[in-house]
Amino acid sequence: MGWKFSHFGDQLGRGSGIGELMDDLGHALATGGDEVCMLGGGQPAHLPELDAVWRRRCQELLEEPGRIEAVVGNYEPPLGNQAFRESIAALLQRRFGWNLSFENVAVTAGGQTGLFFLFNTLAGPDSLAGVSAETQPRQVLLPLVPEYIGYANQSVSGPLFRSIRPQLELIGDHQFKYRVDFDAIEVDDKVGAICVSRPTNPTGNVLTDFEIDHLHELASSADVPLIIDQAYGSPFPDVIFREIKPRWDEQMILTLSLSKLGLPGTRTAVVIARPEIIQAMGSMNSIVGLANSNLGQAIVKPMLDSGEVCDLTSQVIRPFYQRKSEFAQRCVREIFSDQLPYRIHLSEGAFFLWMWFEDLPIHSQELYRRLKERKVLVVPGHHFFFGLEDACRSEVEPQVAGNRMNQANWKHQEECIRVSFAMPDEVIRRGIEIVGEEIERAYQSAT
């Protein structure tokens, strides 16, 4: 007879889409081999230029008397190393002219942890004593789905997200773009925060400056924070393929990460926010994990001061991923039949192609299973459409190319997959060939 799980245990301990993704990623990377086409995770590419920098920085830590002993042998404060926090603030001041200091900076054990803290601080019930059938907990408003799979199961108190379906702009024969449907957004007193990722994971969408400004206005009017997850954004790794104007003020919270810079194993991320939020992050860090890892902070701190980190993003990281995006899209155009009803989301940043197969006869989970049998790992798209339960009962319907479509049966969320282009070119091409074969097979079997 099994032990009874609490609500917390049920929420976080019973499996999730992000758990499935990371399990696939971990096994694929651990077993290695040339047979597996790992197109499913957010693993950054191992660029020789970056690996050389990390090796050099580790060697410098080893050679500095007493330095490596302090990095691996000492606890830092729960908010992170103050010199590192000062360097982050100084970089943002120099780069964007933002008015902030180290008191606006907290370090967390990865962006996932930082967002877990933020979501459960700003949304959910006000207090356990106040929960009743008549009181509704506050929610995090996601103004655009699909959105990052890692958010979906982060609540410790029940349903946490209210999501808004996008407008779909069809571009040419085989592209499209999601846009925020502002007419469908209502920021009422049950909204505790608004959150977007920029670039968006999974689609590579980059919300326009107008969209960000409009969301900021909505957040300010409701006096709730606008959270922008910049795991792939500015100032690092800055994997954005179009011009944007980064923005921050005390109505906003930003999260940055060293993972996509090339240091996922250091589990180091940064929260930029007003001081009371920063102090809350420090308290949570101390309760959950005492302190953060020191290694990522120690490796990157001098690179923040010198500006080397910005040189790497502009000269190495962004050009690499932009080329990979163009290569992956070229493979799709060359391999897929022009008659195949596929569309790729406009690739404006991040590491992924978001592929939509209109009227796909099988569920994206079944497509994932078939591809996995052929040693191609992707992420089925339905995991990224969460928080839509209330929207399904709304009278507001999503728009596709200016036309209304059935709100109650939005099959689109079962027709998409996320494909990473961070792997070597030969892996990408072989994986896309197999995806094309399975898609052709699915459509043919339905006729």
Within the chain, all domains assigned CATH 3.40.640.10 are found at 77-306
Tokens representing 299 are: 């490796």
Indicate if the pLDDT at residue 262 is higher than 60: yes
**How confident is the model over 334-353, as pLDDT tens digits?**
999 988 999 999 999 999 99
* Per-residue pLDDT, 394: 36
Single out the residue of 322, 359, 347, 362 nearest to residue 418, CA to CA.
347
**How confident is the model over 290-312, as pLDDT tens digits?**
999 999 999 999 999 999 999 99
**How confident is the model over 89-118, as pLDDT tens digits?**
999 999 999 999 999 999 999 999 999 999
0.85 exceeded by pTM: yes
CATH 2.160.10.10 fits 77-306, yes or no: no
Q: What is the mean pLDDT of residues 278-301?
A: 95
CATH number, domain 7-50+313-445:
3.90.1150.10
Please give the DSSP secondary-structure letter assigned to residue 109: S
Output the average pLDDT for the chain.
90
- pLDDT band (50, 70, 90) for residue 33: low
Whole-angstrom Cα distance, residue 61 to residue 298?
8
Indicate if the pLDDT at residue 387 is higher than 90: yes
* Better-predicted residue by pLDDT, 446 or 79: 79
CB atoms within 10 A of CB 443: 17
Q: What is the mean pLDDT of residues 390-417?
A: 56
Indicate if the pLDDT at residue 391 is higher than 90: no
Within the chain, all domains assigned CATH 3.90.1150.10 are found at 7-50+313-445
Which residues, 6+ apart, have CB-to-CB distance to 132 below 8 Å? Answer: none
Q: What is the mean pLDDT of residues 7-32?
A: 62
- pLDDT band (50, 70, 90) for residue 130: low
Indicate if the pLDDT at residue 5 is higher than 90: no
Residue 338 burial by CB count (10 A; 0-12/13-18/19+): exposed, middle or buried? exposed
